[in-house]
Amino acid sequence: MKSTRPLLLAVLSLVIILMFFRVELYKTWFRDRVFGPIENISEQLTYMDPHERRMARLQNSYFISYNVAEYLRTNKKDSNALILLPPTDYMKESGVDFMVPEPAVFYLYTGMKSVAANNKGADKTNFAIVPQQGANLQVIELNDQNRPQILAQFRKYIKTN
Amino acid sequence: MTFLAILILLIAHYFSGSGLLYLFRVKLKPAMQITLSIICGIVILSLVPLFLELAFIPLTLTSIAAGIAVICVLLNLTKLANIKSVLSDSKWRFPSIKAYEIPFFVLFSIMFFSSLWRSFYLPSNARDMLSGPEVIADYAVKEHSLINSVLTVNLESTNNHLKPPFILGLQVIYKFFGIEFGGVWVGFMSVCFCIFLYNVLREKMHGVIAGLLLLLFIALPEVYAYSYMMLFDYSNMVLYFLGVYFMLRYFKSGLQSEIYFSAVLFGFSTIIRLETLVLIAMMVPLLWLYSYQKKAAIKNVVLQSFAIMAVSGFFYFLWMNIFLNYYMPGLITVESQLNKNLIDLSPLFKRFSEMNSELLFGRLEEPLWAHFIKVFLAVMVLDLVISRKMSRESLNWLYALAVVYFGLPILGYLLPLMDLNNTTKRALFKLMPIALLLMANTGILIKLSAKLLDWENGNEENRVGR
């Protein structure tokens, strides 16, 4: 009789686990947070390139930043650009899905330096990312004439404490 | 190649940690010994890039690998000197697994695999990482120094580059070894901790109850998310818990080495999050209380208290007063972080109230902790009603719980930057394993465990655990 008792306790363990995951909160959690990601692995294995993995995880925040930097490097031949980053709220209002990274994160994504409109050095920026009609983005070159207007526009969306 | 690099680093974590455990004569069951070694090794190796930087040695794959090798050898010198006795002592045998543990082990394996894969595959997306350790580590690999071009970028919106070197160091090492997003160490840390915790629970509990308790812990939604996502708080919880565990172990065993090992673990938790120092200071009176009851020699108590505060203080001093002061000067002062108006206690009460009404018992309770807190309270109330007394060990765990519960609002009051919805929320992770151990020490669960074991053994034995 003694030898079958651990097996009966194994059945008890199984029942406990099944009952545990009958609780809606745990069932949803296991499906979404544990098993769901395992199901994605076969697809993830086809995207092992770090750039693809970053795009999938960080989405537009990374993708747009990366493309802006590529554009500046290839079209403007300017690797030392100082880019004026728009406020995320401005992007939202313009219908652009772009969670704007802060300068340190932009540097991680692109290797290029940037500032926000309320940062020191904003008046020395030479490029800006601005929304266009149709929820698109454009990289424009800044000069002493257009920079103050763009800075003023961006600063409207920056919350001050 | 990536797999090989991960394996080499895992072995290096194990050897460095195992050397430390040997120095402190820590002897546990193999599963605990191995997992604790890896956990300690993760923290030990995280310091390698910092020490190289302090010595003005450029960070390269060679210097990092040499640093790791030197640390491993240094920590294992005593062990190597006594290799004969070490080999004769180590009678390795495969741990016995009971049939009723298998369903839980299968389930936990699925959960561990999910954490491990994501810690490897996913790049970090936490702001605290991207604008701090991650970007500095990325450029440290390119520029061979922790003090690199990131510090020339506009950093007005962040102070994350000033956070302690734990994650930074590990990310530098893993990136140098060719693991693009680092991160795998998070998975190692969480898996090792859960295995360690299960074995701690098994010291008192029957396998079925220990399995259920660990399941409740792993299924803490917010905590599980950080078992694969890089941030300071999960590791901080692990090392702080281990510090408490070895302090309380010392209270039972009286082995001096255990209280000093506890001091080292508390120190490790401080190098992960510096403010842990305050909670550690709040744990010291428990040592005094124990020593008073045991009528321990005052000299010993003073030495032990000093060791606990000195190790943590050393790590705090190393980062704040040496590295940030002399290597990255002018970026931060402690005074600038402190509450300027300590006479006004209203922020303390407000934080305590919000912590309870929002995070622990309010609208965020279920999304953060699922039903863990309800189960914990139910077990505690039932135990009070049925058992009507708490053991000395339970009271010690209760004290440790109270330190975190009351200590976090105090930290929020002292450091206004420690907000409710991020820092305090994640600092509450530290409550969870302590609450789990408090449950595991209740009379009702211990009696239930004993009854299950008696039934399993046909009343032939009366012993709990393996």
- What is the distance between the alpha carbons of residues A6 and A19, in angstroms, rounded to a whole number? 20
Residues above pLDDT 90, as percent of chain B: 86
For residue B114, list chain A residues with Cβ-Cβ distance below 8 A.
Answer: 33-35, 37-38
For A44, the closest chain B residue by CA position comes to B121
Residue B466's pLDDT band, with cuts at 50, 70 and 90, is very low
SS3 A132: strand
Residue A128's pLDDT band, with cuts at 50, 70 and 90, is very high
Query: Measured between CB atoms, does A158 come within 8 Å of chain B?
Result: no
Average pLDDT, stretch B379-384? 96
Sequence-distant (≥ 6) Cβ neighbours of residue B247 within 8 angstroms: B258, B259, B262, B283, B286, B287
> Could you tell me which of B157, B90, B87 has the C-alpha nearest to residue B127?
B157
For A18, the closest chain B residue by CA position comes to B103
Calculate the average pLDDT of chain A: 91
Residue B463's pLDDT band, with cuts at 50, 70 and 90, is low
Name the pTM for this structure: 0.94
Test the A interface: residue of B136, B156, B214 with most A CBs within 10 Å: B156
Q: Which pLDDT score is estimated for B332?
A: 67
For residue B127, list chain A residues with Cβ-Cβ distance below 8 A.
Answer: 102, 105
Residue A75's pLDDT band, with cuts at 50, 70 and 90, is confident
Test the B interface: residue of A3, A33, A88 with most B CBs within 10 Å: A33
CA max distance for chain A: 92
For residue A26, list chain B residues with Cβ-Cβ distance below 8 A.
Answer: 219, 370-371
CB contact under 8 A, A29 and B225: no
Higher pLDDT, B94 or B418: B418
**pLDDT single digits (tens) A136-148:** 899 999 999 999 9
Residue B331's pLDDT band, with cuts at 50, 70 and 90, is low
Q: Which pLDDT score is estimated for B42?
A: 98
CB contact under 8 A, A23 and B103: no
For B127, the closest chain A residue by CA position comes to A105
Q: Which pLDDT score is estimated for B178?
A: 95
| A52: pLDDT strictly greater than 70 | yes
Q: Residues B322-331, buried b or exposed e (16+ Cβ, 10 A)?
A: ebbeeeeeee
**pLDDT single digits (tens) B75-106:** 999 999 888 888 877 766 777 899 999 999 99
> Could you tell me which of B199, B203, B193, B143 has the C-alpha nearest to residue B43?
B193
Q: In Å, how far are A105, B94, B171, B202, B294 from A51, measured between CA atoms?
A: 15, 43, 18, 44, 61
CB contact under 8 A, A116 and B157: yes
For residue A24, list chain B residues with Cβ-Cβ distance below 8 A.
Answer: none
- Number of A/B CB contacts below 8 angstroms equals 139
- What is the distance between the alpha carbons of residues A15 and A109, in angstroms, rounded to a whole number? 48
Higher pLDDT, B236 or B82: B236
Q: Which pLDDT score is estimated for B83?
A: 85
Q: Which pLDDT score is estimated for B287?
A: 97
For A113, the closest chain B residue by CA position comes to B153
Query: Measured between CB atoms, does A18 come within 8 Å of chain B?
Result: no
| A17: pLDDT strictly greater than 50 | yes
Average pLDDT, stretch B394-421? 95
- State how far residue B369 is from chain A, nearest Cα, in angstroms: 10
Query: Measured between CB atoms, does A103 come within 8 Å of chain B?
Result: yes
For B137, the closest chain A residue by CA position comes to A108
Query: Measured between CB atoms, does A102 come within 8 Å of chain B?
Result: yes
Query: Measured between CB atoms, does A155 come within 8 Å of chain B?
Result: no
A24 by Cβ neighbours in 10 Å (0-12 / 13-18 / 19+) ranks as exposed
For A16, the closest chain B residue by CA position comes to B212
CB contact under 8 A, A53 and B122: yes
For residue B224, list chain A residues with Cβ-Cβ distance below 8 A.
Answer: 29, 33-34
- State how far residue B291 is from chain A, nearest Cα, in angstroms: 41
Query: Measured between CB atoms, does A22 come within 8 Å of chain B?
Result: no
- Residues 25 through 54 of chain A touching chain B, CB cutoff 8 Å: 25-26, 29-30, 33-35, 37-38, 41, 44, 50, 53-54
For residue B150, list chain A residues with Cβ-Cβ distance below 8 A.
Answer: 104, 107
Three-state DSSP string of chain B: CHHHHHHHHHHHHHHHHHHHHHHCCCCCCHHHHHHHHHHHHHHHHHCHHHHHHHCCCCCCHHHHHHHHHHHHHHHHHHHHHCHHHHHHHCCCCCCCCCHHHHHHHHHHHHHHHHHHHHHHHCCCCCHHHHCCHHHHHHHHHHHCCCCCHHHHCCCCCCCHHHCCHHHHHHHHHHHHCCCCCCCHHHHHHHHHHHHHHHHHHHCCCCHHHHHHHHHHHHCCHHHHHCCCCCCHHHHHHHHHHHHHHHHHHHHHHCCHHHHHHHHHHHHHHHHHCCCHHHHHHHHHHHHHHHHHHHCCCHHHHHHHHHHHHHHHHHHHHHHHHHHHHHHCCCCCCHHHHCCCCCCCCHHHHHHHHHHHHHHHCCCCHHHHHCCHHHHHHHHHHHHHHHCCCCCHHHHHHHHHHHHHHHHHHHHHHHCCCCCHHHHHHHHHHHHHHHHHHHHHCCHHHHHHHHHHHHHHCCCCCCCCCC
**What would the two tokens of residue A2 be?**
């003694």
Q: Closest to A104 (Cβ–Cβ): which among B99, B158, B207? A: B158
In this prediction, the answer to ipTM > 0.90 reads: yes
Q: Which pLDDT score is estimated for B465?
A: 47
β-pairing, A136-141 vs A113-116, is unpaired
CB contact under 8 A, A13 and B100: yes
- What is the distance between the alpha carbons of residues B220 and B367, in angstroms, rounded to a whole number? 9
CB contact under 8 A, A23 and B371: yes
| B304: pLDDT strictly greater than 90 | yes
CB contact under 8 A, A53 and B104: no
**pLDDT single digits (tens) B358-380:** 999 999 999 999 999 999 999 99
Q: Closest to B111 (Cβ–Cβ): which among A23, A34, A57? A: A34
- What is the distance between the alpha carbons of residues B62 and B55, in angstroms, rounded to a whole number? 15
For residue A41, list chain B residues with Cβ-Cβ distance below 8 A.
Answer: 117, 121
Calculate the average pLDDT of chain B: 94
Q: Closest to A10 (Cβ–Cβ): which among B103, B111, B158? A: B103
For A85, the closest chain B residue by CA position comes to B154
Residues above pLDDT 70, as percent of chain B: 97
For residue A23, list chain B residues with Cβ-Cβ distance below 8 A.
Answer: 371
CB contact under 8 A, A10 and B212: no
CB contact under 8 A, A10 and B102: yes
CB contact under 8 A, A29 and B219: yes
**What would the two tokens of residue B123 be?**
């790049």
